[in-house]
A and B are shown apart, each in its own frame.
Chain A
Amino acid sequence: MSARERNYVQISGQGAQTLMFAHGFGCDQTMWRLVTPAFKDSHRIVLFDHVGAGRSDLAAFNPTKYSSLQGYADDVIEVIRESKLKNVVFVGHSVSAMIGALAAINAPELFEGLVMVGPSARYINDGDYTGGFTAAQIQELLEFLDSNHLGWSAAMAPTIMGNADRPELGQELTNSFCRTDPEIAKHFARTVFTSDNRADLAQVSVRTLILQCAEDVIAPTAVGEYVHKHIPGSQFVQLQATGHCPNLSAPHETAAAIRAFL
């Protein structure tokens, strides 16, 4: 199976530069649907789903490979190489910011720039480092995922049954976006929330933009500042948008910030 099929890669738009958008933990490539129209006339646009999300090939899921973010970063590199993408600026939301950083460290020649939307180098507090969550809280999250997966999948299951390519079903559908396999989502949550990429930041050599939201409970401002401080030469932009998903809550502001960086 090609990387393109595995990650349900969608390529559109025209332009010398390629914008490769990556979704984070939760949802799939539809997260970018309000942002991408702003670039469709000026850029080549690449969208994809991480394995386990959206319309990726669930059979490609390998718990060992995807027990670290490196597994996801390898997929990104494979997609770029296979589709022979040039002049790539990787726009990663949430955990994909770090996935992009790892890919750019491994194959810097493939990347022209990195845009990190709500990045976190580590979610769990560690001594002086503020990640936003205590170890006990993340432990509670993981236990909740393990012990209560019927409750978890009760929320997730409709997302699997959703049918995004039949919008005519409209309101009859429940949660037609963000399709995620519940079991893989659990595994992904463990990988994401126990990750620690602080040591990797210094090795990022490509141009980097960090977009930070206000009142982001997943990636608080202190975390974004930490990432900015440790990636040499990175730019930091504080958005007006609140929450963790400016690509949905403030798509215009997000697109403008990205364009300014390009």
Chain B
Amino acid sequence: MSSLNDIEDLEDLYEHSPCGYLSVSLDGRIVKTNKTFLSWAKLDREALTGTRLHDWLHIASRIYFETHLLPLLRMQGYVNEVAVDFLFAPDNRLTTLVNFIERRDEQGNVRIIRMTVFNASDRRRYEKELLAARESAQRAGAEVQKLNDALQARIVEADANHLRTEELLRQAQKMEAVGQLTGGIAHDFNNLLAGITGSLELLDRRLEQGRIEDLSKYVSAARGATKRAAALTHRLLAFSRQQDLAPQPTDINRVVSDLQEMVRRSLGANTSLEMIGAAGLWTTVVDRNQLENALLNLCINARDAMPAGGRIVIETSNKWLDQRAAAERDLPQGQYACLCVTDTGTGMSPEVLARAFDPFFTTKPSGVGTGLGLSMVHAFARQAGGQVRIYTEIGQGTTICLYLPRHRGPPEDIDALAATTGTWHSVRAETILIVDDEATVRMTVSDALTEAGYHIVEAADSVTALKLLETAAQFDLLITDFGLPGGMTGRQLAETAQTMREELKVLFITGYPENAVFENNLLAHGSSVLSKPFAIDALIEAVSSLLPGVDNRV
């Protein structure tokens, strides 16, 4: 009884196992199948028995079975877990994993091939999903790689462009600074031209009169003005020229002193410039051109921080930075030549300060600054092995200091630029107060009018002029430039003077012709405007028309 049950159990196990079982003869015909396989095939046992196995295989599996699986089976007696697709009907494809094993008789001949078939439909679906996921991951990876490659190429290209651009930028920055100077420079040139033409005319006049004594002063005044004009153009051209970086031992004081004239010209008349150069200032190795550029940028920033005018101080000093001080400034401990530019301007907020060195960051109106000035200054200082520090307070002003490492050795000599000063001169007559910061202008005007018989008093700035006007001295005419040092414009000076002395006449002389036109329309009675450069005759005519009462002319 029990053995019968055992056989039934075994049969049940065979027929209803979760695997399909197939027995295949050596010539490839199906001998036996279990019910599980028949249920997958949806075929009767009779329909399968005696048929060739490969007739039920999907074409790809059939080829694979013949070319790969059977040879393997012949060689090793078994094949494990290979993917095989059956095709029982056009709409009944069965995806499986199959194991084959040869069963041999006692003589060792192959009796039968046993196949175990696992239904792998779910697994294959899962595999396909994995495959699709892997493919899309690979696509994404390839996409990222492509982007990376493109980015890499652009970085290489950008690097190449970077050097070119940096060079262009340095030059552009310089030209921007030059542009910002131009207004002041034009004014300055007119002043110098006025000095030259004035001297020449006075010479002419003296020669006509046969008064040839003491003529050399006019010649030297004209020569001086010419030299200064030449020096100015020389400096401008030298500054504008595209030059290769050539760091060399440099005396900062010398650079400042050479540049201060140009800086002064670029400042409004209501901004004063003071220079405090340390004696025995240490030499430093920098590119002179870049140092000039940096200094100009700092001065232009200082000027622009003081729209209502103020004071700029350029100061140099030697600094010993001990370990702590050096660490604070992110510098190695040691000796530094220090160049500071201080203004009495608006100062910077902490937010502005934080971004001050960022390229293209600017607080100036659009079109006024590139936002590159301070970042270039910073780059220059770091390149030179130094540092830039900003000390600022809202409403109080800003000090920006360049720390440049000391170089032990003398500076390389550079051409000194000749500078001359005009001479003072006056003769007794009706009294005219001449106020102009340009000594040559004062001299030529003064000489011409002295010639014409007027008594001349000169002042270089508004403060001096006001002090003179406050005295009891007689003044009939005030001749003043519109732009003046000392905190007051020529116009403000004239207004103040005329409230102090109602009868005082005023003649404005200006290097800005457009100002002349504008100001002429607004002139108070008893005032007129003369544009520099002017002929001596025009000057005398203008003066005599304002002082018609007495003709003291020689």
Inter-chain contact A177/B76, CB cutoff 8 Å: yes
Q: Which listed residue, B27, B76, B78, B124, touches A151 by the CB 8 Å rule?
A: B124
Q: Are B79 and A152 in contact (CB under 8 A)?
A: no
**Given A154-B83, A158-B81, A243-B66, A27–B71 Cβ distance below 8 Å?**
yes
Least CB separation from B73: chain A residue:
A248
Where the two chains meet, the residues of B that have a C-beta atom closer than 8 Å to any C-beta of A are 27-28, 52, 54, 58-60, 62-64, 66-72, 74-76, 78-85, 95, 97, 124, 127-128, 130-131
- With A154-B81, A242-B27, A244-B66 as given contacts, are A176 and B59 in contact (CB-CB < 8 Å)? no
Query: Are B81 and A174 touching (Cβ within 8 A)?
Result: yes
Within 8 A of B (CB), among A107-137: 133, 137
What B residues does A248 contact at CB under 8 A? 70-71, 74-75
B83, A33: Cβ atoms closer than 8 Å: no
A225 to B78, CA, bound (A): 33
Which residues from B are CB-within-8-Å of A60?
Answer: none
Tell me whether A145 and B72 are in contact (CB under 8 A). Answer: no
Is B58 a contact partner of A176 (Cβ separation < 8 A)? no
Residue of B nearest to A33 (CB): B75
For the A-B complex with A158-B80, A171-B78, A248-B75 known, give 4 more contacts whose Cβ atoms are closer than 8 Å.
Answer: A151-B85, A175-B72, A244-B66, A248-B71
Closest to B63 in A: A141
Residues in B neighbouring A178, C-beta threshold 8 A:
68, 71-72, 75
A80 within 8 A of B: no
Partner of B80, one of A174, A215, A217, A245: A174
CB < 8 Å A-B pair total: 109
B10 smallest CB distance to A (angstroms): 25
**A193 vs B63: C-alpha distance in the bound complex, in angstroms?**
10
Q: With A and B bound together, what is the CA distance between A138 and B63 in angstroms?
A: 10
**B95-A151 in contact (CB<8A):** yes
Inside 8 A of A151's CB, which chain B residues have their CB? 83, 85, 95, 124, 127
A150 touches which one: B62, B66, B71, B128 (CB < 8 A)? Answer: B128
Assuming the A-B contacts A150-B130, A151-B124, are A145 and B60 also in contact, with contact meaning beta carbons closer than 8 angstroms in the complex?
A: yes
Contact with A244, one of B70, B78, B95 (Cβ below 8 angstroms): B70
Roughly how many angstroms separate A207 CA and B116 CA in the complex, as a whole number?
45
Q: Do B59 and A137 have beta carbons less than 8 Å apart?
A: yes
Interface size class, chain A: 35 or more
Contact partner of B54 (CB less than 8 A), chosen from A31, A174, A217, is: A217
26 chain-A/chain-B pairs, Cβ below 8 angstroms? A25-B67, A27-B68, A31-B71, A94-B67, A140-B58, A141-B63, A144-B60, A148-B60, A148-B128, A150-B127, A151-B83, A151-B124, A151-B127, A152-B64, A154-B83, A155-B68, A155-B83, A158-B80, A158-B81, A159-B72, A177-B76, A178-B72, A189-B63, A217-B62, A242-B28, A248-B71
The interface bits of chain A over 138-168 (1 if a CB of B lies within 8 angstroms of the residue's CB, else 0) are: 1011001100111110110011000000000
The reply to whether A26 and B127 form a contact with Cβ atoms under 8 Å apart is: no
CB closest chain-A residue, reference B84? A155
Interface code A170-187, partner B: CB below 8 Å = 1, 0 otherwise?
A: 010011111010000000
**Is the beta-carbon distance between B70 and A245 smaller than 8 angstroms?**
yes
Query: Quick check: A175 and B76 within 8 Å, CB to CB?
Result: yes
Bound state CA distance, A152 and B66, in angstroms? 15
Q: In the bound complex, what is the Cα–Cα distance between A217 and B55 (angstroms)? A: 9
Complex CA–CA separation, A150 to B188 (angstroms) = 86
> Which chain B positions have C-beta within 8 A of A100?
none
Distance between A40 CB and nearest chain B CB, rounded to angstroms: 19
B71 neighbours in A (Cβ, 8 Å): 26-27, 31, 177-178, 245, 248
Residues of B within 8 A of A30 (CB): 75
Which of chain B's residues has its CB closest to A176's CB? B76
Q: How far is B257's CA from A172's CA once the two chains are assembled, in angstroms?
A: 93
Which among B28, B75, B131 has the highest number of chain A CB atoms within 10 Å? Answer: B75
The residue in chain A whose Cβ has the minimal distance to the Cβ of B64 is A155
Q: Smallest distance from the beta carbon of A171 to chain B beta carbons, Å?
A: 8
Q: Separation in Å of the B57 CB from the closest CB of chain A?
A: 9
Quote the shortest CB–CB distance from B102 to chain A (angstroms).
12
Question: Is A11 an interface residue, CB under 8 A from the partner?
Answer: no
Least CB separation from A180: chain B residue: B68
B28 cross-chain contacts in A, Cβ below 8 A: 215, 242-243
Question: Would you call B60 and A141 a contact (CB within 8 A)?
Answer: yes
Q: In the complex, which residues of chain B have a beta carbon less than 8 angstroms from the beta carbon of A148?
A: 60, 83, 124, 128
Q: Which residue of A lies closest to B66 (CB)?
A: A244
Given known contacts A33-B75, A154-B81, A218 and B131 CB-to-CB distance under 8 angstroms? no
Given the complex, which residues of B lie within 8 Å of A176, measured CB to CB?
A: 76
Which of A30, A174, A175 has the most chain B CB atoms closer than 10 A to its own CB? A175
Residues on B with C-beta less than 8 A from A94 are 67
User: What chain A residues lie within 8 Å of B124 (beta carbons)?
Assistant: 148, 151
B44 to chain A, nearest CB (A): 24
CB of B317, distance to nearest CB on chain A (Å): 71
